Amino acid sequence: MSKSLQLSVVLMALIIGAFTIFHSSCDFNPHRHGEWLFEMHCANCHMEDGTGLGELIPDLWESPYLQKTTIHEAACLIRHGIKTPDPLDPDLEIYPMPPNYELTESEIANILNYIGNNFGNEAGYINPTKLKEVLSDCPNAEDRQW
């Protein structure tokens, strides 16, 4: 290989490399941690694309529960889940949505920031003070409807 060819190959590689780095910084994802937590704790049921499963698992797209005025309440849902009497056996109680006691307050905030600003939702940023307030005073899991 001639010297000039070698040089142009190296130059080419440098340009491609620089372009890649520049390009990826444009795709900055402000909800990366929330997205990661969502995939770990929620996507098994709500699916990675948030579309859920028929009437069994709610679709998160344009959800009335994930808008500016409602999203903080959703924190209780994530932490305590939903508990209802079994429709086929009233003596039994089932969790249509299981609780997630392992998640910290900031983790719940990150998940809400992710789902509240993706899937066609426009909740804006979670207010941490309000989130704390809501989480410290969650209604009983049994009283929550879905």
Q: Which residues bind another protein (CB under 8 A)?
A: 44-45, 47, 53-57, 87-88, 94, 98
CB of 39 to another protein, least distance (A): 12
DSSP letter string, 42-84:
THHHH-TTS--BTTTB---TT-GGGSTTTGGGHHHHHHH-EEE
CB of 100 to another protein, least distance (A): 11
SS3 87: coil
SS3 101: coil
Closer CB to another protein, residue 17 or residue 98?
A: 98
Q: Is 110 left (phi over 0), alpha (psi -120 to 50) or beta?
A: alpha
* DSSP label at residue 95: E
CB of 10 to another protein, least distance (A): 26
H-run or E-run covering 85: strand 82-86
Closer CB to another protein, residue 21 or residue 88?
A: 88
Closer CB to another protein, residue 52 or residue 67?
A: 52
Closer CB to another protein, residue 49 or residue 142?
A: 49
CB of 71 to another protein, least distance (A): 23
d(CA 78, CA 142): 14
